[in-house]
Structure 1
Amino acid sequence: MIRIGIAGIPYHTKGEGTEAGLRYLHDAGLDAMEVQFVRNVYMTPKSASKSAVIARECGLALSIHAPYYINLTSKSKATQEKSKVWLEKSLRIADSLEANIVVCHPAREKEPGMLKQHLLELSDMRKKEGIKALIGLETTGDAPELGSVEDYLDLLKDVPGTDIVIDWSHLHARTNGSIKGIEDYEAIFNMLKPIKRDDFHMHFSNVEYKDGREVRHLPLDSEPPFEPLAKILKEKNINATIICESPILEDDALKMKKAISRLH
């Protein structure tokens, strides 16, 4: 199954809260929402449980994006510890929300040993508390920083409860526009085959980039192309949730849904 959803509250229901957003997405024909904890974990267990009930009724898959300031390899020990606290809070709310995955940008500096140790501690916390949501390591849009597929391969093998979140616009930006057709998407899936073959969580939008760095997300009318990704998912019968991060969230998410439905 391929689910299509958006990051955050639909722009047509801004200011009306998560529950109104979930009902709107269901009525629009979409399948998922990624709750955005941009600066802080604003949900309580009670409000998260209420949203979980509505999502279940509407058949929507939920995920969480942890706060953006997380950096488990910061030179500041205080930042490392605060980052772990944010991830712990996000994982606990994910349990109440019945979210499948907590997405994060785990680190900036390329310190794989340090990152692995922090993730192992979070993995232990997740196991002890019986939390089902996975820790999602998102590919990032800045080539000098940690966040390529290759950067995560060993971590995914060695740290239980972690998963990769493929942000295609970020990969496109950090490689200066390398994703042009189906063979480029297939190369990423082939790289991940030893670790996983199915049930992918993804982000997608078009992107402006410069010198291996993401500048901004763009609507679906430029690069990388969406149709080759849709085609490979359908041809290989890959289960995936695709979260649209376009500036026109649900409008472009519906475009993606239509593009997939046209394929046989």
Structure 2
Amino acid sequence: MTQESKHVVYHAHRTPIQRIIIVHGSSPWRNDVLADLKFGPAGYPAEAKNSVKRVFQILSDVELDALEYAAVYGLRMGEKKAISIGKAAKSANITMSMHAPYYISLASKKDDVRERSRNRLIKALKFAPLMGVKRIVFHAGGYSGRDPNEAYQLILDSLQEVWSTAGHHGNGALLAPEIAGKLKAFGSVDEIIRICENVEGCIPTIDWAHMYARRQGGIATKKDYLDILEVFEGRLGEKFTKNMHFHVSGIIFTKAGEKAHRPLDGKWGPDILPLVEVIREVGYKPTFISETPDSLKGALYTKYLFEELEKAQQ
């Protein structure tokens, strides 16, 4: 039995909404311990069957409080649906983020591709307040054969244009460029921090699995995690610490970087338990979004680690 499945059991005889997670036969979470942290899946849980009502019912039933809406293949909805999602999220007290389309390529050698990429982010900013979204996660794209510094300047110029054009539409929503898992993609730690230093409306999304793949491992201890977090905090200050947004999962990687996301079951790195310990000890207040294949289960497991650590300290 894996580390994850050992503790998290789905009761298959129940209906999807009733299939509450049971940990050691007791109520798994105590809100007082985790009140300052948020946990949720990337995308709708499979059991929701694309029903907005069922999505938020499931999250409420298992006491998760975040959701990253997956617009990775395009923000394909009208304002009416966006408003319905926002109302449902507010009613369920769910913190919303959005993952913008994968098609964004801000360093493309084609002017029209860069323009469409900017327009996708502008649309996301306009829809964010309707959906209650506070963070718009995105990948800036590949280097497109350019020198990394040239790619950086193009991406910086585009994001400054997007923010000056449409930042006010977001009603507090921020753009959140993500650490990239592939070495040919823009998104190293330094690149993401530089963007966030120079674009008012940008905060980093730390995808720990992507960082692990990009670094070819090398994230295993509390010190490893703390050293990385201190770099972000040292350069971005409260812009980072007040808007911490993490993605977690296991990952398979090659010499080229990320290959595939995997569960948080101990078979694949990075081990997030040292990260959990650092967050608890330092007092950071991030939102954790699970990008495991079963993202609902991954979110619950991440929250479970915090709960168990708290119990161990009592």
> TM over 0.5, yes or no?
yes
**Of Structure 1 and Structure 2, which has the larger fraction of its residues in strand?**
1
Using a 3 Å threshold, how does the CA distance of structure 1 residues 93 and 19 change in structure 2: closer, same or farther? farther
Aligned-pair CA distance for 1:180: 0.9
The answer on whether the counterparts of 1:219 and 1:248 sit within 8 Å (CA) in structure 2 is: yes
Q: How many residues align?
A: 263
Structure 2: runs of 5 or more not aligned: 1-35
What letter corresponds to residue 142 of structure 1 in structure 2? Answer: K
Aligned-pair CA distance for 1:129: 3.1
Report the counterpart of residue 12 of structure 1 in structure 2.
47
In 2, Cα distance between equivalents of 1:8 and 1:162: 22
What do residues 202-252 of structure 1 show as CA deviations (whole Å, max 9, x unaligned)? 111000001141110001123100111111111111111110010111112
What TM-score does the superposition give when structure 1 sets the normalisation length? 0.95
Query: RMSD over aligned Cα, in angstroms?
Result: 1.3
In 1, Cα distance between equivalents of 2:253 and 2:97: 27
**Could you say which structure has the larger radius of gyration?**
2
- 1:224 maps to which of 263, 270, 277: 270
Tell me which moved more, 208-217 or 120-129: 120-129
SS at match of 2:293: coil
What letter corresponds to residue 126 of structure 1 in structure 2? Answer: A
What do residues 17-53 of structure 1 show as CA deviations (whole Å, max 9, x unaligned)? 2332122111111111100112111122221111111
The answer on whether the counterparts of 1:189 and 1:197 sit within 8 Å (CA) in structure 2 is: no
Report the counterpart of residue 89 of structure 2 in structure 1.
55
The answer on whether the counterparts of 1:2 and 1:240 sit within 8 Å (CA) in structure 2 is: yes
Is 1:129–2:175 an aligned residue pair?
no
In 1, Cα distance between equivalents of 2:97 and 2:284: 19
Structure 1: runs of 5 or more not aligned: none
In 2, Cα distance between equivalents of 1:18 and 1:252: 20
In 2, Cα distance between equivalents of 1:128 and 1:100: 13
Using a 3 Å threshold, how does the CA distance of structure 1 residues 16 and 145 change in structure 2: closer, same or farther? closer
Report the counterpart of residue 203 of structure 1 in structure 2.
247
Identity of aligned residues (%): 29
What TM-score does the superposition give when structure 2 sets the normalisation length? 0.81
In 1, Cα distance between equivalents of 2:181 and 2:76: 26
Report the counterpart of residue 118 of structure 2 in structure 1.
84
What do residues 128-172 of structure 1 show as CA deviations (whole Å, max 9, x unaligned)? 435321011000101232101111222211111101000000000
Using a 3 Å threshold, how does the CA distance of structure 1 residues 227 and 149 change in structure 2: closer, same or farther? same
What do residues 95-119 of structure 1 show as CA deviations (whole Å, max 9, x unaligned)? 2111111110013113111111100
